[in-house]
Structures are given as C-alpha cells and as structure tokens.
Amino acid sequence: MSLAKIIVSVVVLFTFSQQSWTQESEIEMENVVVTATLASQQQKESGRNILSIKGETFSSLPVHSIDELLRYLPGIEVQQRGPQGSQSDIIIRGGTFQQVLVIIDGVKLNDPLTGHFSMYVPVHPSEIERVEILKGAASAIWGSEAVGGVVNIITKTFSKTKSVNQIKAKVVAGEYGLFNGDTYFKWSKNRSVFSGGILSNNSKGQPLRGTNGFFHLTTANLSFSQQLSKDWILNFRTAADFRKFNAQNFYTTFASDTASEKVDTWWNHINLNKKTKNGLLNFDAAYKALRDQYWFRPLAIPNDNKTNFFTTQLYYTSQFNKQHGYTAGMQVQRKAIKSNDRGNHSLWHGAAYSIIRHKFGNNIFVNESIRLDWDESYGVVLLPQINFAWAPSKFTLRASAGKSFRDADFTERFNNYNKALVTSGRIGNPDLEAEQSWNAEIGADYNLSARFRIGGTLFYRDHTDLIDWANTAYTDMPRKDNLIPTGTYALAKNVEEVSTAGAELDVIYNERINENARMLVTAGFTWLKSKNDDPVPSFYISSHARYIVNLSTAYTSRKFSYSINGLYKRRDEQTSAAINASISPSYFVCNAKAAYSFLKNTGKVFIQADNLFNKKYSDLLGSVMPGRWLSGGFEIAL
C-alpha cells in the first residue's frame, strides 16, 4: 500500500470523527503531565511534545503487550523481534533503541546489560494509570538514555488514583497453541491500597526456518500504598518477569542461528513522599536483578549474564511564589554484571540537578534545567536544557533546546570479550566514549477542545561520538586476543558525527458522542532523515524508518465495541542471502478487534485478528514477524 493511500485513509477517518465532535462530551483528554519537570503541570506549560495515554486504552485496542500499544501511538517506532512482548526496541525521533529512557513512577528501568530489555515492564497493564511519552531530549532531567525521548509509566497505586475496588480476569486462546491469561485486583480501605496482577502470554509459535517462534512470557507484581499521616505516604512494589522465547536471528544473520533466550527479572521499588506547605519531598530506592541466558544453538553453552542495578534519588519540588517554582534533586546509582561472556564489572554513578519553572503573565511559560552527571566510565558531563511555551487560548507555540548524552551499556563495552575463541559476531569495546548531542525543536499545538488536539513539530539533533555497531575488518580490530583473521566481525564504536532532522504531526481525539457511544482516535505522521559522516554504515542508526504513519481507533456503541490499529513504515531496503531474508522498503500492517459486553458491562467476549492482511515483514533483518493470527476470548471485571 502506498504512502499516499495511507495518508488518505487517515484523513477519511479523521473526517468521520469530526462529524461527531460537535456533540457534548463528558470525557476529557489527560492534560496534566510530570515527565518534563518532575512537577505536575499542564501539557501546554511544559514547552514539550508530550503524549499522555490512559491505561484503560490497553484493554480497548487489539494489543497483547505494552510495547504493542506504543507501536501504534503517534511518532513512536517499535522495532519488534518477536510477537506479544517477546522483545522490542523503542525508537523515538530516529537514532538507536538505547536512546529512549523507560521509567516507572519516576525511576529508571533500563537495564545496564542492553537496551533490548527496556520494554520488559514489570507491571500489569491494569495497574497503569497513564503512560506519558516525551518526544525529544530530556537528559538534563533524567540523565543517560533520555536522548530521543522518555516513556514514563505512572501506576495507579503509586499515584494514589481514586478508584473503586476491582477484580478483573481475562482468557485468550487462538491459533498456533496461543493461550493467554491475566488477572488483576485492587483493594483499598481507609488509608491503605493493595493491588496485584499476573499476565501470561504463551504459544508454540508460527513456523520459522527450522524452528517455531514460541514464547512463554509471564509478569507478576504486588503493590502497596499506605498513608502514614496527613502528609506522609509510603509506596512499595515488588515484581517478577519471566520470559523464554525463540530468538532466531534476533542478533545475527547466520544460517546456523537457531537461538532461544530466557530472561528473568526481579524488581523492587520503595517510595516515600511528604507534602509540605508549598511543595513535595520525594524519596525513591529501587533494585533490579536480571539474568539473561542466550543459546545460539540448543546444545551450545549459553551466554549467561547476571546484572544488578540499584538506584536511589531524593528531590524536592516547590513554589517560590505563584509565578515561579523549582525542583532540586540528586541521584546515586550502581550497576554491575557477572557474565561468562562479558566478564565481571561494576560502575558507580551520581548526579545533581535543578529545574526552574517560570510563568510570565497568563500565557508565557519557561522551564530551565541543568544537570551535573558523574560516572566512573565517562567522568563529568554538564547538561543544560531550556523549554519555552506561549499558550494564548487554544493555541500553543513551543520551543526547546538542550544537550543530551548516553553511556555505553555492558554489551557494547564487553560483548564476546570473555570467550576463549570468537570466530564471528559482535565485539565490545571498553574504550567507548559517552555519546553527546545538541537538540533543538519548535512546534505548535491547537486544542479544538479538551478532547481534541492536533500538533506539529520540527526537530534537529546533532550527535558526536554516537555509539553503534559497524562491520570491521580483523586488521582494524583494536583487540585480537580471541579473534581469528578469517572471522566476520562488527565492532562497537563511536561514530564520528550523525545529524538527524525530522517533522512529526500528531492528532488525538477522545470523545463521548452520546450516552451510549464514544470514540478514541490517535494518528501520527513522522518524517526522518539522518546523515552519517562515517564511511562505514552502522547498524541501528541506518535501520530506523524514514516515514512512519501510526493509527489507533476505538469505537464503542452500547454493547458493541470495535478497534483498529494501523502502521505504515518506509525505510532502507536490506537483504541477507545467507538466510534468504530481506527488509522491504515499506510495509503496512493492521490489527482489528470486535467485542460484545454483557452482564451489565461486567463481562465481555471478543475476537481479534493480528496482522489482518497477512503481511510478510521484518522490523530487523532476519527476525521474521508472524503472519495473520486469529484469537478470541472473554474477560470479567467486578
């Protein structure tokens, strides 16, 4: 399907939604965000392009995991390796997948082993109050990885969202032995709130080259919130995430690759906050333990990697007066790895930051941020950022400029470093410098109502020392101890300079048409262009899409509901003769879901078709995505 046809389809759907917009509505779009400044403010005051999606959206759309939900939101590129949450890379505004920071309730989730695990979110979808997506650099607030953007998952228990006690359960069955199940509860009494859930997706998978694309993915979590006194609140979460899946050609294009992978994650987070007369004092401490086992072939000795990540932060946000406010904080982190492939290493990290917020008159908002980062690997980095917004009436003009950076992960530094002999593959580089970039953007939003927003943004990023993998001859390898002259290798290296320019258009519409009908529409168009001065093309910087169209729509009328997700990508073509694989220059995929509610809307039965048109495609060379997949199920909410 051509790009023109996709855009026409979006316009037609947009026009249809306009016809019902004039009716009175009781639903308003989420307009309070915290990701830009660590303080609650309206989106128009942030000076940033921030998309906020309610957690309830997850159950209304034809998706099975959080990364699949993000895949269809405006301006987000999700490069999937496997279905239903097996593994996905998140890209915002081009670049590499390590340049997006994922946080849960204000705490960093990204693993020090690799950014491939960033979307292993140890929270049940029903526990999510909203997801805030900040597009563009935010390192001056959040630090390393916040280069292309930030995905902030805010949960109901930690945000003290008011809701009734609830029990939910869902069962899904389908082709290829698919059987998914999940259950969730939330109970509150007096000053205490408890919640918990288990989500499990399982299938023997569709046929691949000599294997099946099986997956067994289970997430379980328990959360607790206690109001200790009038001003003090204690929050706690413990979670586990267990994943085993086919990983054929996830990381190589070798014909001998019949890989599988097993990733177990444990997550604990304690939060204590106190309301003061003029602000909020917040303390967080979180610990993440992850074990990744990767078998290149069934009888091979697996790469066995164990990482530990500890982070703690303290910040205070307050107001000088009605026109000016501030946030000041500090962080301490320690990351460590024990691996038969990458060796044993550990790093300490510290940071201090400050954010100043200004309101001039009723329409002008300025936010200034500065962060001082120190790390054992890269030393000291100073990161400034300034955001501006002019918001008269329904129109907002915004601009932002600042510096961002990212340090190499343990895989980029030490991959294949601890093995006796490596005949081919990716080789780490312990001498990598931290990548740095300057970022600028300008955009405008128009709010036709509290339920309908359209916005556009132009952005530019100039990167130095960008970290990526590039094919490298044996003679040019900096270390040859365990390599062979005839081997085929890719080295992690600092690409000299990369510039990325782009434009994005976002449309968000959420309307209750009448007492019995409502509609949600999100649509986005993104154009990107990256220039690389290095003569040897690197892997991930050249793999992001040049054009992206994302679309999600959900319509409910009385007892019936219908939803569709659509995605169009145009990117560079790639081929691999060794495994007869290719990356097509463009593709369009679509998922659809239909549901019927019963028992006074406490029960629901549904059918779903993933990849409705049975499109053959891959997001990354060799990682073949499933064709059409039919499923159905029921859910109960009491």
Condensed to tens digits (0 to 9), the pLDDT of residues 347-378 reads 999 999 999 999 999 999 999 999 999 999 99
Examine the pLDDT at 18 and tell me if it is beyond 50.
no
* Residue 50: per-residue pLDDT: 93
Both tokens of 348, joined, read 């300490």
> What pLDDT, on the 0 to 100 scale, is given for residue 25?
34
Bridge partners (DSSP) of residue 452 are: 449, 509
Pairing, β 149-155 against β 128-135:
antiparallel
3-class DSSP state of 20: helix
Residue 510's pLDDT is what? 87
Helix/strand/coil (H, E, C) string of 77-114? EEEEEECCCCEEEEEECCCCHHHEEEEECCEECCCCCC
Integer Cα distance of 138 and 146 in angstroms: 5
Distance CA 411, CA 540 (A): 15
Pair of tokens at residue 10: 């979006």
Phi, psi of 252 (to 5 degrees): -135, 170
Contacting residues for 40 by C-beta, under 8 A, at least 6 apart: 32, 33, 34
Give the percent of the chain with pLDDT over 70. Answer: 95
Question: For 132-179, what is each residue's pLDDT tens digit?
Answer: 999 999 999 999 999 999 999 999 999 877 767 899 999 999 999 999
Nearest residue to 260 via CA among 296, 313, 209, 309: 296
Residue 174 has φ and ψ, to the nearest 5°, of -170, -165
DSSP 238-263: EEEEEEEEE-TTSS---TT---EEEE
Query: Over 80: is that where the pLDDT of 424 sits?
Result: yes
Mean pLDDT of 285-293: 98
Burial zone of 637 (CB within 10 Å; 0-12 exposed, 13-18 middle, 19+ buried) = middle
Is residue 406 within 8 Å of residue 144, measured between CB atoms? yes
- CA nearest neighbour of 465 among 438, 499, 497: 497
Count of domains in the chain? 1
Lowest mean pLDDT across 85-89, 336-340, 513-517, 552-556? 513-517
* Whole-angstrom distance, CA of residue 137 vs CA of residue 461: 9
Give the number of other CB atoms < 10 A from CB of residue 228.
11
CATH number at residue 175: 2.40.170.20
What pLDDT is attached to residue 563?
Answer: 96
> Are 296 and 108 within 8 A, CB to CB?
no
Give the pLDDT confidence of 546-572 residue by residue, as tens digits. Answer: 999 999 999 999 899 999 999 999 998
Tell me the torsion sign for CA atoms 92, 95, 96, 98: negative
Judge whether 474 and 490 are in contact, CB under 8 Å.
Answer: no
> Residue 349 has what pLDDT?
97
Domain that holds residue 162: 3-637
Tokens of 432: 């990598």
Q: Which residues contact 421 (CB under 8 A, 6 or more apart)?
A: 482, 484
Quick one: which H or E segment has residue 66? helix 66-71
List, in sequence order, every beta strand (DSSP E) within 228-363: 232-246, 260-275, 279-295, 303-319, 324-339, 343-360
Token code pair at residue 448: 């036709």
Tell me, what's the pLDDT at 517?
87
**Residues 216-257: pLDDT tens digits?**
999 999 999 999 999 999 999 999 999 999 999 999 989 999
Tokens of 159: 């945000």
Amino acid found at 301: I
CA distance 309 to 139: 19
CB 538 within 8 A of CB 469: yes
The reported pLDDT for the residue numbered 587 is 95
Residue that has been written with the tokens 């003090």 in this structure: 232
Does residue 12 have a pLDDT over 60?
A: no
Q: What DSSP state is assigned to residue 624? A: B
Is 87's pLDDT higher than 60?
Answer: yes
For residue 435, pLDDT over 90 is answered with yes
d(CA 104, CA 106): 5
- What region does 167 belong to: left with phi over 0, alpha with psi -120 to 50, or beta? beta
Contact 470, 537 (CB under 8 A): yes
Nearest Cα residue to 576 out of 167, 109, 252, 243: 252
CA-CA-CA-CA torsion sign (91, 93, 99, 105): negative
- Looking at residues 75-80, what average pLDDT do you find? 94
Per-residue pLDDT tens over the stretch 119-129 = 999 999 999 99
Residue 542 is predicted with a pLDDT of: 74
Least confident window among 159-168, 500-509, 623-632: 159-168
Which tokens hold the place of 144?
């390393």
Return d(Cα 492, Cα 488) in angstroms, integer.
14
Q: Report how far residue 537's alpha carbon sits from residue 544's, in angstroms, rounded to the nearest whole number.
A: 13
pLDDT of residue 496: 81
Sign of CA dihedral 564, 125, 623, 607: negative
Which residues is 227 bridged to in the sheet?
233
pLDDT at 397: 97
pLDDT band at 442 (very low <50, low <70, confident <90, very high): very high
Q: What's the CA gap between 481 and 485, in Å, rounded?
A: 11
pLDDT at residue 31, as a whole number: 65
Q: Which two tokens stand for residue 253?
A: 């294009």
Q: With a cut of 90, say whether residue 16 has pLDDT above it.
A: no
In which band, very low, low, confident or very high, does the pLDDT at 37 lie, cut at 50, 70 and 90? confident
What letter represents residue 81's amino acid?
R
* Distance from C-alpha of 275 to C-alpha of 38, rounded to nearest angstrom: 15
Model confidence at 481, in pLDDT bands (50, 70, 90)?
Answer: very high
According to DSSP, the residues that pair with 623 across neighbouring strands are none
